């Protein structure tokens, strides 16, 4: 029997807050005098808030002082939080509850490994906070994905070695971080974009019924 644990990214895997990030960043771009598209928003997936602002400013060819950047980061987050406080359980992505139920049934513990500094609040809003054995978020790490720090801390919270951990990710940077941590990576989303993942599924509803039971038995 293999003892395993699971680490979930949040945005795009358990819930979809990317749309709220996009609206908040789009509003900020408007304040700075340029347009920001959904296609460009893909560049911000899985990266830190500070790095996201740098990418946004690069798109708009806007230069700001360090103080101005900090002001805009605070403003963007306040706008984003307005959306988050309106979230409810109906925003949990398809297949997520069923997967958590299956892991509970098999006695497999799971934690969250997210770049979001608002992860605890989001889980609370959708009534999932108590289900996770631990949370590693943007407040817990010093380096962002693709650095594996967030997942290595997650393994510590699970009391497992990195190679015993399975990571669910929807971003290239997240998949790379999982791979660098020597963990099994499962890409959720476009299979071409996430081609470096060990397994790929369009969404959590595609996870086979016996996927984790066979993994525990050492068949995967």
State both tokens at 160: 């497992």
How far CA 121 is from CA of 20, 88, 116, in Å, comes to 14, 11, 10
Q: Is 11 a catalytic residue?
A: yes
Q: What are phi and psi of 129, to 5 degrees?
A: -55, -45
Half-sphere exposure for 135 (CA within 13 Å, toward CB): 19
Q: Is 170 a catalytic residue?
A: no
How far, in Å, CA of 194 to CA of 185, rounded?
10
Catalytic residue (one of 11, 16, 147, 198):
11
Catalytic residue (one of 9, 16, 27, 147):
9
Question: Which residues lie closer than 8 Å to 173 by C-beta, 6 or more apart?
Answer: 45, 46, 47, 144, 145, 146
The residues with which 118 forms a beta bridge, in sequence order, are none
As annotated, the active-site residues are 9, 11
């Amino acid at each position: 029997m293999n003892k395993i644990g699971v680490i979930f990214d949040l945005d795009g895997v358990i819930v979809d807050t990317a749309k709220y990030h996009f609206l908040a960043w789009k509003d900020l771009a408007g304040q700075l005098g340029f347009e920001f598209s959904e296609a460009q928003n893909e560049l911000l997936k899985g990266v830190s808030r500070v790095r996201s602002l740098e990418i946004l400013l690069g798109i708009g060819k806007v230069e700001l002082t360090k103080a101005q950047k900090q002001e805009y980061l605070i403003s963007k987050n306040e706008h984003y939080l307005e959306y988050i406080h309106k979230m409810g359980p109906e925003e949990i992505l398809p297949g997520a509850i069923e997967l958590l139920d299956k892991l509970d049934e098999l006695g497999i513990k799971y934690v969250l490994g997210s770049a979001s500094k608002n992860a605890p609040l989001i889980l609370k809003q959708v009534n999932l906070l108590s289900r996770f054995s631990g949370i590693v978020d943007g407040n817990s790490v010093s380096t962002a994905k693709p650095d594996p720090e967030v997942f290595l801390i997650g393994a510590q919270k699970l009391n497992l070695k990195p190679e015993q951990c399975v990571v669910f990710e929807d971003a290239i940077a997240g998949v790379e971080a999982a791979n660098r941590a020597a963990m099994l990576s499962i890409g959720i989303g476009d299979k071409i974009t996430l081609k470096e993942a060990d397994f790929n599924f369009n969404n959590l509803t595609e996870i086979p019924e016996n996927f984790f039971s066979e993994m525990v038995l050492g068949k995967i």
